[in-house]
Amino acid sequence: MHIHSVDLAIVIVYLLAVTALGMHFRRKQGQAAQIGGNDRNAVTREYFLGGRSAPWWALAFSIVATETSTLTIIGTPAIAYGGNLTFLQLIFGYLIGRILIVLVLLPGYFRGDFFTAYALIEKRFGQRMRAVAASTFLITRALAEGVRVSAIAIVLSVVLGTSEHFSVVIVIALTLLYTLEGGMKAVIWTDVAQLFIYLAGSAATFFVLLHRVPGGWNEVAQVAAAHGHKLQVFDFSFNLATKYTFWSGLIGGAFLTMATHGTDQTIVQRLLAARNQRDSRRALLASGVIVLFQFTVFLLIGVLLFVFAQHTPLLSPGEHTDRILPLFLAREMPTGLAGLLLASIIAVAMSNASGSLNSLAASSVLDFFALRLGNRSPANDEGFLRLSRRMTLFWGVVLMGFGLMTWGPVLEAGLTVASLPLGSLLGLFLLGTLNRRSNASGALAAMFTGLVTILCVWRLTNIAYTWYVLIGSVTTFLVGSLISLLAGPEESGNLHATVDPAS
């Protein structure tokens, strides 16, 4: 189905404007290269950390935009449309996870001039473990972002009436264009612009839907109660197979957030881009408040869509529920507003993809190429900048390939893919932070054991994905502690040491 020509024009103009905004920051890269001379760190700091000049509130919005993506925008209403509001319990765990990051992990990142999360691991366990940790991130982020790209294609195919495969190519091509040119500053400030717009758009969607439901909120409450308590938020039962309970949300959500926001380079890169630790802390905690608000709105939109569909069906028989919100926006929203909302959803998703591209390139260049080549790595800023852009292009092609694959329900597929290896990665960071006697041999064996354990849990049990990170991280931590104790003292780094700026 094609949208109104006015809405289509708004979508196209908006996408071009976002791309132009991102490309505006190319000039900053050139200025850094001229000022830096042969100081590679000047370009690294500018391209991958935005010169550490962004205010904390901008980083808070960028964090939210990064973790939100199209998976959240179209997947969250779909969960409430097909179920209820119990997913919100997971968000409460997200808030606790942020507090734990501030207390446990964040101080270590600001005891040196780190450019990636995994430089911290090198100071504790050496280069080999840094490479293992970075490899885990690269594989996890590429797969998870592939799911997100496929979600973008769902929206764009509804808007343009094209195939989802063609939509993937369009999205990645435009995203690559401004990510290659603008670096981290382009990522942060496009995130800020898009988040303001789509939060306002989400609120508008909520009120338009409520207005379109005959009988208003009274009708919503009656229909919701008649169809299995769709407004239910809390489930205090304890069943490891149930995805969203109070316990899996609070505990599992906290560990998931510690992994995604405390060890994943995509978010950690934003924390490192802050001017100081205080700003980084404020950005992370403020982002939690915004996330709670937006997930509440998205879930309520899903309930409203369910009630609206009782009067005006939107999905064809057998059609995937992830299409419910894009279809409503294309068919039912007023002309002009529909175009703006669809454009903002797509543009936020592009900003999200651009952040992942920049982080994947940063880890590839700094955790692998720069370490392996040593003095043979590009000595001047321009050469290093070219290498960084080439790696961004490479990962763009990889994400395009993953985006062309077929996944399940997009939000849960993305969270499941991320949860499988992130437990062992979080366990590694906790092992290095909390157990000073742990060593590299114990850490490597522990990561492998944690990953194998969670893969067995995934394939052989019906335990919900919300427990995966907890199981993986606890296994990794305990095994690493035990092996390190049995193996005895081993030379290792020190999380409290300062680091060379080249990290």
Residue range 18-35: mean pLDDT, rounded: 61
**pLDDT classification of 499: cutoffs 50, 70, 90:** very low
254 in Cβ contact with 24 (< 8 Å)? no
* Number of domains observed in the structure of the chain: 1
Please check the confidence at residue 117 and state whether its pLDDT lies above 90.
Answer: no
Q: Letter for the amino acid at 228?
A: G
Supply the pLDDT for residue 410. 53
- Tens digits of residue pLDDT in 33-46: 454 444 556 666 66
Report CA-CA distances (Å) from 330 to 28, 171, 316, 378, 440: 38, 19, 15, 49, 54
What's the distance, Cα to Cα, between the start and end of the chain in Å?
50
Residue range 355-366: mean pLDDT, rounded: 84
E strand or H helix at 73, and its extent?
Answer: helix 56-82
Residue range 48-65: mean pLDDT, rounded: 85
Q: Could you tell me how many helices (H) and strands (E) the chain has, helices first?
A: 21, 0
**pLDDT classification of 475: cutoffs 50, 70, 90:** very high
**pLDDT classification of 502: cutoffs 50, 70, 90:** very low
* Highest mean pLDDT out of 157-161, 263-267, 477-481, 487-491: 477-481
Distance CA 175, CA 354 (A): 6
| Domain assignment of residue 492, yes or no | no
Please check the confidence at residue 48 and state whether its pLDDT lies above 90.
Answer: no
> To the nearest 10°, the Cα dihedral for 317, 320, 322, 324?
-10
Mean pLDDT for all residues in the chain: 80
Distance CA 475, CA 426 (A): 11
| Domain assignment of residue 503, yes or no | no
Residue range 156-166: mean pLDDT, rounded: 69
- The predicted model scores a pTM of 0.81
Supply the pLDDT for residue 286. 96
* Highest mean pLDDT out of 1-5, 194-198, 368-372: 194-198
Q: What CATH number is given to the structural domain containing 87? A: 1.20.1730.10
| Domain assignment of residue 180, yes or no | yes
Task: Dihedral sign for Cα 184, 367, 132, 427, please.
Answer: negative
- Tens digits of residue pLDDT in 73-89: 777 888 888 888 999 99
Mark out the alpha helices in 213-241 (DSSP H runs): 216-226
Residue range 197-202: mean pLDDT, rounded: 80
Supply the pLDDT for residue 158. 64
Residue range 105-129: mean pLDDT, rounded: 84
Supply the pLDDT for residue 375. 47
DSSP 329-363: HHHHSPTTHHHHHHHHHHHHHHHHHHHHHHHHHHH
**pLDDT classification of 25: cutoffs 50, 70, 90:** low
| Domain assignment of residue 494, yes or no | no
**pLDDT classification of 430: cutoffs 50, 70, 90:** very high
**pLDDT classification of 90: cutoffs 50, 70, 90:** very high
* Highest mean pLDDT out of 33-42, 251-260, 401-410: 251-260
Report CA-CA distances (Å) from 491 to 119, 153, 163, 441: 17, 49, 56, 10
| Domain assignment of residue 498, yes or no | no
| Domain assignment of residue 155, yes or no | yes
Supply the pLDDT for residue 35. 47
| Domain assignment of residue 122, yes or no | yes
Supply the pLDDT for residue 103. 93
How many Cα atoms sit within 13 Å of 302 on the Cβ side? Answer: 29
The one-character DSSP state at 451 is H
The one-character DSSP state at 87 is T
Supply the pLDDT for residue 221. 85
192 in Cβ contact with 344 (< 8 Å)? no
Supply the pLDDT for residue 446. 93
Question: How is residue 318 written in tokens?
Answer: 């057998």
pLDDT > 90: what percent of the chain? 22
Distance CA 396, CA 402 (A): 10
Between 467 and 266, the higher pLDDT residue = 467
Query: What domain range includes position 54?
Result: 5-487
**pLDDT classification of 407: cutoffs 50, 70, 90:** low
Please check the confidence at residue 160 and state whether its pLDDT lies above 90.
Answer: no
**pLDDT classification of 229: cutoffs 50, 70, 90:** confident
| Domain assignment of residue 130, yes or no | yes
30 in Cβ contact with 46 (< 8 Å)? no
**pLDDT classification of 493: cutoffs 50, 70, 90:** low
Please check the confidence at residue 30 and state whether its pLDDT lies above 80.
Answer: no
